[in-house]
């Protein structure tokens, strides 16, 4: 495996391999050892053409814990804001000898475009592209679910997950549906019809418009952020109505099974899709998701960069 562009690039073995690697790496991070020499001398570029806190910091921490050199590069303050094309930016990164490019971009398919350039020799890691995919987030979500509810199993067979909210604009939802399905979990998407994408019937997931009836059935409730910045249209009458039908509040929390956990990829709109008391409750693993993100991204960097370069593997 050279690039991580989509969950579709992963086989079940690949996915479990990344989760297992992350498990061992998280034990290291928990202990006294914070830094490993594994990627010493390798350069990783964080190319963020769209705003991000968690993902960028998480990839940066992961790369640094593996002793790689990190170059951070965001749209604001770089030539991207002067209108430089993605291809020209990539050419610059290639000339500087980047071993991997972690890219976040507003356009779906931008990482694929980068990976398809023949002269790019490094790995491309999709850190979220438009409304397409966010594979590292899905992997850290699966890692968190496995840690809490996996009971020692390698996959997530039999676990029921509800993904609630703005599925239409969510790359997190798309990657999660693909990965959770690959790992054997059952996904239910809960959203108003206006916030479900065209063709959602073909996704490997059940669809529901009624949150209350789903809550008591599932082991994991994953709330999605309402992505107001991507909304050019009116998708629901107003925030209060959305919150009443699809927001997770204390009353709804009481409907959930005692072992069920609450997740959110962040950043949260407190009071809109999730009530503050719920986000801060003992059932919420939202902060832990962030911590796990570093271990999972270390595992991704290890799997993509540590072994022999592809092509020379037979030597």
Partner 1 sequence: MSVALSAPDISRALIRISHEILERNQGAENIILLGIPTRGAHLATRISQTISTIEGRDVAVGMLDITMHRDDLRMRPLRAIMPTSIPSSGIEGRDVVLIDDVFFSGRTIRAALDALGEIGRPRSVQLAVLVDRGHRELPIRADYVGKNLPTSPTQSVRVHLTEIDGIDEVLIEGESN
Sign of the CA dihedral with 164 first, then 168, 169, and 174 last: positive
Cis peptide bond prior to 267, omega within 30° of 0: yes
Look at the block and give the residue holding tokens 């099974």: 257
Polymer length of the chain:
315
Instruction: Check: CB of residue 301 under 8 Å from CB of residue 122.
Output: no
| Positions in 53-82 near partner 1 (CB under 8 A) | 66
By CB under 8 A, residue 240 contacts partner 1: no
Pick the binder of partner 1 from 198, 234, 254, 308 (CB under 8 A).
308
The one segment of 17-25, 163-171, 222-230, 256-264 that binds partner 1 by CB under 8 A: 17-25
94 CB neighbour count, 10 Å cutoff: 17
Pick the binder of partner 1 from 202, 232, 238, 315 (CB under 8 A).
315
State the Cα–Cα distance between residues 311 and 314, nearest whole angstrom.
7
The one segment of 44-52, 75-83, 254-262, 305-313 that binds partner 1 by CB under 8 A: 305-313
By CB under 8 A, residue 36 contacts partner 1: yes
Binding footprint of partner 1, residue count (CB under 8 A)? 23
State the Cα–Cα distance between residues 225 and 240, nearest whole angstrom.
15
By CB under 8 A, residue 97 contacts partner 1: no
Pick the binder of partner 1 from 9, 11, 26, 37 (CB under 8 A).
37
Q: Residue 248: which of 225, 219, 217 has the closest Cα? A: 225
By CB under 8 A, residue 250 contacts partner 1: no
Binding site for partner 1 (CB under 8 A): 17, 20-21, 24-25, 27-28, 31-33, 35-38, 66, 302-303, 306-309, 313, 315
């Amino acid at each position: 495996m050279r690039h991580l562009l989509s969950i579709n690039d992963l086989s079940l073995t690949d996915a479990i391999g990344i989760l297992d690697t992350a498990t061992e790496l998280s034990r290291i991070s928990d202990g006294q050892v914070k830094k490993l020499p594994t990627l010493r001398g390798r350069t990783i570029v964080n190319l963020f053409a769209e705003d991000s806190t968690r993902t960028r910091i998480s990839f940066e921490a992961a790369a640094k814990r593996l002793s790689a050199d990190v170059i951070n590069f965001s749209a604001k303050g770089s030539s991207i804001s002067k209108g430089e094309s993605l291809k020209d930016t990539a050419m610059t990164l290639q000339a500087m000898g980047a071993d991997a490019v972690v890219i976040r971009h507003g356009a779906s398919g931008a990482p694929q475009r980068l990976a398809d350039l023949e002269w790019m020799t490094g790995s491309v890691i999709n850190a979220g592209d438009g409304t397409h995919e966010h594979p590292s987030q899905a992997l850290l979500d699966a890692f968190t679910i496995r840690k809490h509810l996996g009971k020692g199993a390698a996959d997530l067979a039999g676990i029921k997950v509800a993904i609630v909210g703005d599925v239409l604009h969510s790359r997190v939802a798309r990657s999660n549906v693909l990965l959770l399905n690959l790992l054997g979990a059952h996904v239910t998407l809960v959203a108003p019809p206006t916030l479900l994408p065209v063709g959602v019937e073909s996704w490997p997931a059940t669809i529901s418009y009624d949150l209350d009836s789903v809550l008591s059935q599932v082991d994991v409730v994953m709330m999605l952020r309402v992505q107001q910045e991507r909304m050019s249209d009116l998708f629901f009458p107003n925030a209060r109505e959305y919150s009443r039908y699809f927001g997770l509040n204390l009353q709804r929390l009481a409907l959930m099974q005692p072992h069920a956990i609450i997740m959110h990829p962040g950043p949260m709109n407190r009071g809109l899709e999730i009530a503050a008391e719920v986000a801060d409750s003992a059932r919420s693993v939202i902060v832990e998701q962030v911590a796990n993100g570093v271990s999972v991204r270390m595992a991704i960097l290890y799997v993509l960069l540590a072994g022999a370069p592809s092509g020379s593997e037979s030597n």
